Amino acid sequence: MNGTNSLSQNQTFIRTAAFTIALFMALIGIVNSMPTYGLFPPIGPFPAVVLRPLFIGAAVFLVLANSSFTSTFAEKWPNLRWLGTLVDITILLLTWWVLWEYYDLQISEEEGGFFDIEMFHFWVSLIAASLFIIISWKVWGAPLSIIGILAMVYFYTGEYWPWIFETARVTLPETSEDLWYNQGDGILGTIMGIIIFTVFPFIMLGTMLEKTGGGRSLIKLAVHVTKKFRGGPAHSAILASSLFGTMSGGSVTNVVATGVITIPMIKQRGFSPSFAGGVEATASSAGQIMPPIMGAAAFVMSDLTGISYLTIITAALLPALAYYASLFTSVVFEARRLGVEVGSENLEDPALKVSSQDYINLIMVVVPVGVVIASLLEGLSAAGAGMTAFFAIIPLSFFNPEVRKRPFMIVEALSQAGLTFGRLLMAIAVVGIVVAVLGATGLPKDFVILIDAVSGGNLFLTLLVTGLAALMLGMGMPTLPAYLTIVLILGPAMQNLGLTVLAAHLFVLYYAVASSITPPVAVAAYAAASIADAPPIRTAIMALRVGLVKFAVPFIFAYYPVILIVDVVFPEGQSFKIDEFLTVLFRLLVFIYLISSAVIAFDQRRLPIWEAGLRIGLAVLVMVTIPTIHWPATLVALAYIAWHQYAFAQKDKAPAS
């Protein structure tokens, strides 16, 4: 009994300490990102050289406190629990030491000191990289950490590699500056700076929305709006996930937040458990491609490309709407297939019944988004806009009586944001290793040459390779690290074949997002499967089928940049033309109809395999860039659809057996 009490006390201490650190990180972030209005320097009262190691040090403590080796050893080898504690303490102290060495040298340089490269610095950088690989493995699993290990091995052995992978010989001390003592491409370099100074405010904003009632009210209102639709709760899942996901930025977070309400309702309406989970998973993952927030990806993209945030969300809007339109259409066809009619969910259930308070809570969604856009138009930085919105949502949350009764919910939201942020930083640290190696070896330039040689200058093959790489890298890891790593490696190859910078970045982002529903490591689908009580692989396959258009849309805007609307996506000498835009949009709608019905294998009746294949083939031909192909294909598709509707619409549409 005493042992149990001791363990409980230890857990309480760890949680309390983690909560304190999370709150500290959040408060520092608030001060640092405050809107300037002439009162503070652009990055606040704390210089970056202080904040980067400070945030990382706090994040490591927080992550180890919440996902410790002590608990792992206690679960698997109870007698060796002390060894897990020793590992935690060692990792924490070593991390703080290497961060101090980074800070000490950076301060010395700023004060006019000289960076005398020694073997000591090499060992510091090697230990630092190894620590973050270990922690990332503990938090996120093997895939990203293995990539980090391969990058390290390649960095130190590149001179012995064959073909284009051979690099110039490096001296070990010199590698320390590339890897660690560097605010450009190193572990604590530009990418880490973007996450700390830009993404953190939006993580806090999304968590506040979830914890203070705005997110739940959003879901209830979505259910209310779609109650007369044939797909009912499935459509509400799509609507709620798109709106909530753009703020939360996490596929699994979105699934858990919305799926606990929508998935049981979808099953109650008559849909299969795997379909319920699949719809929720694919809708939740796509929240990160839905403007205006895009899960903070738009702001990261803006920092990387130098393209304004408003330009990026304008370009991303139509492809995102097209994707969600395909989800709506797929649900309609599935409802037809099952003979599902307008249902009668128990909307009087207090968990679903919409009250006047839910409309009031909606203010916590609408106002912060409006504040972000207005702040950016006024010239604030992305971080400043995010923090301004965060300042707005705190007083707005008190419109919710639950928050007034228990104001501590706001502090808990900050704590959750800190934990989410700390976990993300561990992944970004490993991305920093990859970025450092790429910058030091010049490997992306060699990849451009290699891909050009393999594809023969064929844009389609280049896009295919890039999409597959993003899917493989993104499995089991956050979207942002997957997007950043792939776009830095393969982005130049796409641009070399005529794709503009923004189109290339959006293409990679789409596939990084799609990785969360792609087997075998479809994390969003597996989270949805656990709620739906459905087989995980079957749910992932259903999510893949329903979300098939997500894999096609990037190819469409790569070949038809006109649907991105903004001028920066057009190659030199081209511009936006309204007639071209309207014709592409029309063909895109035909494409969506054909694909959505084909993946469900149902329209007005069950589609035999040959007919589903015919629809997919026609859909591809409809979007081919050659007019002599796509216009005849479009006419054939329209005639075929009209025939199908006329021939089978009046017949009995009994549920499929």
Number of structural domains, the chain? 1
DSSP one-letter code for 478: -
Position 587 scores a pLDDT of: 96
Length of the chain, in residues: 657
Six-digit token pair at 442? 């010049």
Residues pairing with 602 in the sheet = 606
Q: Is the pLDDT of residue 57 over 80?
A: yes
The per-residue DSSP string of 483-527 comes to HHHHHHHHHHHHHHTT--HHHHHHHHHHHHHHGGGSTTS-HHHHH
- pLDDT given for residue 16 in this prediction: 53
pLDDT at 110: 63
* Mean pLDDT computed over 342-349: 54
Q: Is 267 helix (H, G, I), strand (E, B) or coil?
A: helix
In this structure, is residue 630 part of a structural domain? yes
- Give the pLDDT confidence score for residue 592 in this predicted structure: 94
From CA 476, how far away is CA 523, in angstroms rounded? Answer: 6
Burial of 580 (0-12, 13-18, 19+ CB in 10 A): middle
In percent, the amount of the chain with pLDDT more than 70 equals: 85
Q: What is the mean pLDDT of residues 482-501?
A: 80
Question: Could you tell me if residue 1 is inside a domain?
Answer: no
Highest-confidence range of 4-8, 130-134, 350-354, by mean pLDDT? Answer: 130-134
Q: Across residues 338-345, what is the average pLDDT? A: 66
Q: Give residues with Cβ within 8 angstroms of 426, minimum separation 6.
A: 59, 60, 63, 132, 135, 136, 139, 140
Cα–Cα distance measured from residue 609 to residue 204, given in angstroms and rounded to the nearest whole number: 48
Q: Would you tell me how many other CB atoms lie within 10 Å of the CB of residue 5?
A: 9
Cα(198)–Cα(425) distance, rounded to whole angstroms? Answer: 13
Closest CA to 227 of 344, 358, 354: 344
Task: With beta carbons less than 8 A apart as the criterion, state whether 274 and 542 touch.
Answer: yes
In a domain, 89, yes or no: no
Q: What is the pLDDT of residues 585-596, one digit of tens each?
A: 999 999 999 999
d(C-alpha 297, C-alpha 304), whole Å: 11
Task: Taking residues 237-252, report their average pLDDT.
Answer: 73
596 in any annotated domain: yes
- Which residues are 606's β-sheet partners? 602
pLDDT tens-digit series, residues 395-422? 888 888 888 888 877 777 777 777 878 8
Span 85-94, mean pLDDT?
Answer: 89
Domain that holds residue 591: 576-652
Give the number of other Cβ atoms within 10 Å of residue 339's Cβ: 12
Q: Which pLDDT does position 26 carry in this prediction?
A: 54
pLDDT digits (tens, 9 = 90+) for 515-572: 888 877 777 888 888 888 888 888 888 888 888 888 899 999 999 999 999 888 887 7
In this predicted structure, what is the pLDDT of residue 635?
A: 96
Q: Is residue 555 part of a domain?
A: no
Indicate whether 380 pLDDT > 80: no
Q: What is the pLDDT of residue 328?
A: 87
Give burial (CB, 10 Å; 0-12/13-18/19+) of 336: buried
For residue 621, tell me if it sits in a domain: yes
What is the tens place of the pLDDT at every residue in 1-45? Answer: 444 444 455 555 545 555 565 555 555 555 554 444 333 334 445
pLDDT score recorded for residue 258: 77
* CB-neighbour burial class of residue 269 (10 A; exposed 0-12, middle 13-18, buried 19+): buried
In three-state form (DSSP H/G/I as H, E/B as E, the rest C), the secondary structure along 48-103 is: HHHHHHHHHHHHHHHHHHHCCHHHHHHHHCHHHHHHHHHHHHHHHHHHHHHHHHHH
pLDDT at 241 over 50: yes
Mean of the per-residue pLDDT values for the chain?
79
364 versus 97: the higher-pLDDT residue is 97
Classify residue 373: in a domain, yes or no: no
Of residues 30 and 134, the one with the higher pLDDT is 134
SS3 602: strand
Q: For residue 132, what pLDDT is reported?
A: 92
Question: Is residue 117 included in any domain, yes or no?
Answer: no
Residue 650 has pLDDT above 60, yes or no: no
pLDDT digits (tens, 9 = 90+) for 463-491: 888 888 778 777 666 777 778 878 877 77
